[in-house]
Chain A
């Protein structure tokens, strides 16, 4: 398995695309800033969102059973799945019990996490992702590169080429309006013939048993209201205690995600439609383990707005696919190791710890601190690559001995000047692949400081 830095290196080879990716996401970040500034009590909202989530996580049993009870009273069939396998089987059973062959799905990171599409497809069902971005990457058979903007890594010409092949649009057509209209026609046909519609869940309200889904396209509603059977899939952490709490989250979510004041549709599903069937599947899949961990539980507050990705200098310049986990960026980097610590050892290092992620997070997750804690945990567990492990060990030793540190500094200043280039920028030094070291100073900072500090009264 090649790690994040290797894949980021490949992403950066195409410099103009990397620049474009960087700028596009920065533009989204700027829109977010503008929207956030338009709300006078923004910081207060973040504080409230964080404390509502804390409250839920501390009393999860209570809210889960309240939610389940209300939902059952509303005529909804509620299922609980402890892991991905169980979740997939539950959904498969609902689909086959209803003799459906075609399933339409709106965006749900949970179904991605559980590999639902593959599970259903292997059993002969057709699964169609209906969010435009998701449909594009489904056609390309690749994972999303961003949790809110799944196809942000693609240029319109590539999508035009793809639609030409899959939807028979004229060759060379790459106008977003025309491409969207072709997808609309194609997906309408799917909406109208699907037997089951699946959605993710943004929020689930304990006091009413309803689930709330936010979309801009209206695809969740098209699917749910057209198909006889609707299934809403949620992780246990999606709960909020009361309807009123939704005010806090709906004010934050879209503003923080894309800079919109609210998504075009904020749908509240409480009871099945006449003659329809409504299911809610509540999934654990490792969440209650994370809840037990004092260190990592705050990641469960995440409302999947994607802002930490848009703002992250590493994400913007390495692309979502370089992370090798379905949720990329800062939040993905703290979630992934809790699922598979061996596979994702490198992700907590895919960060400059600049704290920008924590500063934009609407539910105040201490993302940068989590990244740092993961680094410590990984080093205690000895989970590094041999080179990184050795380098850190040597550095730790030298930094703890002041005289040795001074001496090493001197040696480095001389060595970097005189060593042949191919030794400094060798293969082992990943850092030097795409970068040049600055010119070596004549003296150390320490020496400079002791010479100058008297003069300036520092």
Chain B
């Protein structure tokens, strides 16, 4: 199957947004990546992004766990999203350290709204071979105490997705 064809279906956006809400993520849709970045720097000035090479190095595998533990809000960019379940695929190239998407208190996730596939069938046609990759669908959660849903079991307490 042609990967580029899969990643353009615009009519999947509403379903994707609905799925994200269902799994407990917040969603904000803006026009263009620049407006997303401007919005983040205005509203989440403390947010750490890894786009700059030095920061990438600073948080790579040699970074101490104690330092990672102190992370509040971080910004990552997903490779593509899945409409049926709100999952977003990230691989080793999306972060300098595999622990980052889990150890931060809040994750802000950017996603190009042209990169949404219909279901897991299409999704697995798009996953690339990588050392580590993960579908993330909403924040960390548990219902182990009397089936009451609680966010932030171990990983992030909230997930904010920016579609552009």
Binding site for B on A (CB under 8 A): 24, 27-28, 39, 74, 130-133, 136, 149-152, 154-156, 159, 176-177, 179-181, 183-184, 187-188, 191-192, 208, 216-219, 221-222, 224-226, 243-244, 246-247, 250-251, 258, 260-276
Shortest Cβ gap from A209 to chain B (Å): 11
Known contacts A24-B146, A192-B65, A246-B120; decide if A260 and B23 are in contact (CB<8 Å).
yes
Q: Which 10 A-B pairs have the closest CB atoms?
A: A218-B155, A271-B131, A261-B85, A133-B144, A217-B153, A225-B99, A176-B148, A176-B145, A262-B85, A225-B98
| Interface status of B87 (Cβ within 8 A of chain A) | yes
| Interface status of B134 (Cβ within 8 A of chain A) | yes
Known contacts A217-B155, A225-B99; decide if A262 and B137 are in contact (CB<8 Å).
yes
Q: Which of B102, B125, B143, B147 is the one whose CB lies under 8 Å from A218?
A: B102
Contact between B124 and A246, CB atoms less than 8 A apart: yes
Known contacts A130-B154, A217-B154, A247-B119; decide if A226 and B146 are in contact (CB<8 Å).
no
Q: Which of A136, A226, A244 is the one whose CB lies under 8 Å from B144?
A: A136
Q: Which of A224, A226, A247 is the one whose CB lies under 8 Å from B124?
A: A247
Contact between A222 and B99, CB atoms less than 8 A apart: yes
Shortest Cβ gap from B92 to chain A (Å): 9
CA distance A132 to B147 in the complex (A): 12
Q: Which of A155, A176, A219, A250 is the one whose CB lies under 8 Å from B154?
A: A219
Task: Please name all residues of chain A whose beta carbon is closer than 8 Å to the beta carbon of B103 when the two chains form the complex.
Answer: 222, 226
CA distance A131 to B144 in the complex (A): 9
Q: List 29 A-B contacts (CB under 8 A).
A: A132-B142, A149-B143, A152-B147, A177-B150, A183-B153, A187-B154, A192-B66, A192-B69, A216-B140, A216-B153, A218-B154, A221-B98, A225-B99, A243-B127, A244-B125, A247-B121, A251-B120, A258-B143, A260-B23, A262-B120, A262-B137, A263-B137, A264-B141, A266-B137, A267-B132, A268-B127, A272-B131, A273-B61, A273-B132
CA distance A24 to B143 in the complex (A): 12
Task: Please name all residues of chain B whose beta carbon is closer than 8 Å to the beta carbon of A149 when the two chains form the complex.
Answer: 143-144, 147
| Interface status of B19 (Cβ within 8 A of chain A) | yes
Task: Please name all residues of chain A whose beta carbon is closer than 8 Å to the beta carbon of B120 when the two chains form the complex.
Answer: 246-247, 250-251, 262
Contact between A270 and B132, CB atoms less than 8 A apart: yes
Task: Please name all residues of chain A whose beta carbon is closer than 8 Å to the beta carbon of B139 when the two chains form the complex.
Answer: 264
CA distance A190 to B69 in the complex (A): 12
CA distance A266 to B123 in the complex (A): 12
**Nearest residue in B to A163 (C-beta to C-beta)?**
B145
Contact between A225 and B102, CB atoms less than 8 A apart: yes
CA distance A181 to B65 in the complex (A): 20
Contact between B23 and A261, CB atoms less than 8 A apart: yes
Task: Please name all residues of chain A whose beta carbon is closer than 8 Å to the beta carbon of B78 when the two chains form the complex.
Answer: none
| Interface status of B36 (Cβ within 8 A of chain A) | no
Known contacts A191-B154, A225-B98; decide if A217 and B135 are in contact (CB<8 Å).
no
| Interface status of B38 (Cβ within 8 A of chain A) | no
| Interface status of B129 (Cβ within 8 A of chain A) | yes
| Interface status of B112 (Cβ within 8 A of chain A) | no
**Nearest residue in B to A217 (C-beta to C-beta)?**
B153
CA distance A179 to B139 in the complex (A): 18
**Nearest residue in B to A242 (C-beta to C-beta)?**
B124
Task: Please name all residues of chain B whose beta carbon is closer than 8 Å to the beta carbon of A243 when the two chains form the complex.
Answer: 124, 127
Task: Please name all residues of chain B whose beta carbon is closer than 8 Å to the beta carbon of A133 when the two chains form the complex.
Answer: 142, 144
CA distance A2 to B134 in the complex (A): 45
**Nearest residue in A to B153 (C-beta to C-beta)?**
A217
| Interface status of B114 (Cβ within 8 A of chain A) | no
CA distance A260 to B138 in the complex (A): 11
Shortest Cβ gap from B89 to chain A (Å): 9
| Interface status of B22 (Cβ within 8 A of chain A) | yes
CA distance A237 to B19 in the complex (A): 32
Shortest Cβ gap from A298 to chain B (Å): 25
Contact between B153 and A271, CB atoms less than 8 A apart: no
Question: With contacts A24-B147, A218-B155, A226-B99 known, what are 12 further pairs, Cβ within 8 A?
Answer: A132-B142, A149-B143, A151-B145, A154-B146, A188-B69, A188-B154, A222-B103, A251-B121, A261-B23, A266-B135, A267-B133, A276-B61
Task: Please name all residues of chain A whose beta carbon is closer than 8 Å to the beta carbon of B69 when the two chains form the complex.
Answer: 188, 192
CA distance A268 to B133 in the complex (A): 5
